[in-house]
């Protein structure tokens, strides 16, 4: 278990104050000296250091080689000066031990060759090989060792492990590639309750093991990506998604780490997403942070939510937008500064660094 995870044990509440990073403390809505900041997709194609590695290795090679995945993770966190490092991996990695082949096609994203659309295919998915995902834990181990000590400002960097949420992963299994309308996913959901339940059960089972591997070696927090849950109506989210996501969140929390639950286009779903029991809800940029937090409700943190395209804007706009997000958070405990979704390719690195500086300047708490 990580230093921070140990500090979270209920028997030692005071250790949390002494031992945790400001990032973990914010996840638990504890007081911090300033708002912590990190970015979705902080290690990615916008960054020349990442592209230099990508020249020689495929995305999956990077994910599956702990030395390289750790290096990419560390380089991004140090270059940007953020308060947390998210492990370099991908949402779809659990598909391989489940017996589902996929590949990343340049410019198109992930493609599953034989989409899962029948009960028979769901039955064939395996849940007994999740230990094969252990290379992600090996990467985390290296990142945790690198960031074990305090940084120059005395704070310990937070280490984020992650996995997909059952709905978003199911949608990648069922559609051929990235989808807009999730027609096939909805067809299975509506027409074959047995197949849908079994698929969601199997995903939760694999994801719990995957998260456990990450927590055991030093992930301080687990972020659960439900990137495409926003495609669902509230009623469908409630009927086909919530129970399994709640189960996953609950099981991860039992491991002794806070959970951040993130989705895109979720303004209408926020209060229902809160019912999963996550410690922090990630907001996209479409909802003003204060309104989003109101919808999430008291007693839960929020992460976000600068529009990633703001990173292309000139200094005055950048300053104004960063301050707006901080003003909307109003110094409340439990805010983690981030973008509303991932950094896009072509984003100037210096603007990303500038946002970190602005948060450090304007996000101080008394």
Can you give the binding site for ligand CP3, defined by CB under 6 A? Answer: 40-45, 54, 59, 86, 88, 90-92, 104, 109-110, 162, 178, 225, 227, 342
- The C-alpha atoms of residue 48 and residue 165 are separated, in whole angstroms, by 30
Residue 29 vs 175, nearer CB to ligand CP3: 175
Taking the complex as a whole, the smallest distance from the CB of residue 193 to ligand CP3 amounts, in Å, to 26
| CB environment 38-57: b (16+ within 10 A), e (fewer) | bbbbbbbebbeebeebbeee
Whether 172 sits among the annotated catalytic residues: the reply is yes
Residue whose CB is less far from ligand CP3, 15 or 59: 59
Taking CB atoms, the residue at the shortest distance from ligand CP3 is 227
- What would you report as the CA-atom Rg of the chain, rounded to the nearest whole angstrom? 19
- Can you read off the two tokens belonging to residue 178? 């990235």
Nearest distance from residue 164's CB to ligand CP3, in Å?
Answer: 7
Nearer to ligand CP3, 51 or 194 (CB): 51
As a whole number of Å, the end-to-end CA separation of the chain is 32
Catalytic position from the list 29, 46, 50, 90: 90
Nearer to ligand CP3, 91 or 119 (CB): 91
**Shortest distance, CB of residue 15 to ligand CP3, whole angstroms?**
29
Active-site choice (33, 54, 201, 307)? 54
Distance CA 3, CA 25 (A): 13
Question: 46 catalytic, yes or no?
Answer: no
Question: Is residue 117 flagged as an active site residue?
Answer: no
User: Closer CB to ligand CP3, residue 24 or residue 76?
Assistant: 76
Q: Which residue has the tokens 């370099």?
A: 88
Three-state SS for 245? Answer: helix
| Minimum distance from residue 65 beta carbon to ligand CP3 (Å) | 14
Residue among 54 and 253 whose Cβ is closer to ligand CP3: 54
DSSP label at residue 131: G
Kindly state the smallest distance separating residue 183's Cβ from ligand CP3, in Å: 18
Tell me, yes or no, if 290 is annotated catalytic.
Answer: no
C-alpha to C-alpha distance for 122 and 97, rounded to whole angstroms: 14
Task: State the catalytic residue, choosing from 22, 29, 34, 41.
Answer: 41
Which one is catalytic: 45, 274, 286, 354?
A: 45
DSSP states along 29-83? T---SB--B--TT-SSTTSHHHHHHHTTS-HHHHHH-HHHHHHHHHHHHHHHT-S
**Is 279 designated active site?**
no
Spatial separation of the C-alpha atoms in residues 106 and 108, rounded to whole Å: 6
Q: Please state the closest distance from residue 321 (CB atom) to ligand CP3, in A.
A: 20
* CA pair distance 212, 215, nearest whole angstrom: 5
Distance CA 63, CA 315 (A): 35
Indicate which residues carry an active-site annotation: 41, 45, 54, 90, 172
């Amino acid at each position: 278990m990580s230093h921070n995870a140990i500090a979270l044990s209920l028997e030692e509440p005071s250790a949390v104050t002494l031992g945790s990073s400001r990032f973990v403390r914010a996840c638990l809505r504890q007081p911090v000296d300033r708002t912590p900041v990190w970015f979705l997709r902080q290690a990615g194609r916008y960054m020349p250091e990442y592209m230099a590695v990508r020249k020689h290795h495929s995305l999956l090679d990077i994910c599956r080689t702990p030395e390289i995945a750790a290096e990419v993770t560390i380089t991004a966190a140090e270059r940007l000066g953020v308060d947390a490092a998210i492990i370099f991996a991908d949402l779809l990695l659990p598909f391989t031990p489940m017996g589902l082949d996929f590949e990343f096609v340049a410019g198109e994203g992930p493609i599953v060759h034989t989409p899962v659309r029948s009960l028979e295919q769901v039955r064939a998915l395996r849940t007994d090989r999740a230990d094969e995902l252990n290379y992600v834990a090996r990467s985390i181990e290296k990142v945790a060792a690198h960031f074990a000590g305090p940084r120059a400002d005395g704070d310990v960097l937070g280490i984020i492990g992650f996995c997909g949420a059952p709905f978003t992963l199911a949608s990648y299994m069922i559609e051929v590639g990235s989808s807009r309308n999730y027609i096939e996913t909805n067809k299975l959901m509506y027409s074959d309750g047995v197949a849908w339940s079994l698929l969601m059960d199997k995903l939760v089972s694999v994801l719990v093991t995957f998260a456990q591997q990450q927590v055991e070696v030093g992930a301080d927090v687990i972020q659960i990506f439900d990137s495409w849950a926003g495609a669902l109506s509230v009623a469908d989210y409630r009927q086909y998604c919530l129970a399994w996501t709640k189960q996953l969140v609950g099981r991860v929390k039992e491991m002794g780490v806070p959970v951040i639950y993130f989705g895109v286009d979720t303004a209408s779903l926020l209060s229902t997403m809160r019912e999963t029991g996550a410690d922090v809800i990630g907001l996209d940029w479409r909802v003003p942070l204060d309104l989003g937090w109101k919808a999430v409700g008291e007693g839960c943190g929020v992460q976000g939510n600068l529009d990633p395209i703001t990173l292309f804007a000139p200094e005055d706009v950048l300053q104004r937008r960063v301050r707006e997000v901080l003003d909307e958070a109003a110094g409340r405990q439990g805010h983690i500064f981030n973008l509303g979704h991932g950094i896009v390719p072509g984003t100037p690195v210096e603007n990303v660094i500038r946002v970190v500086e602005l948060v450090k300047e304007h996000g101080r708490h008394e």
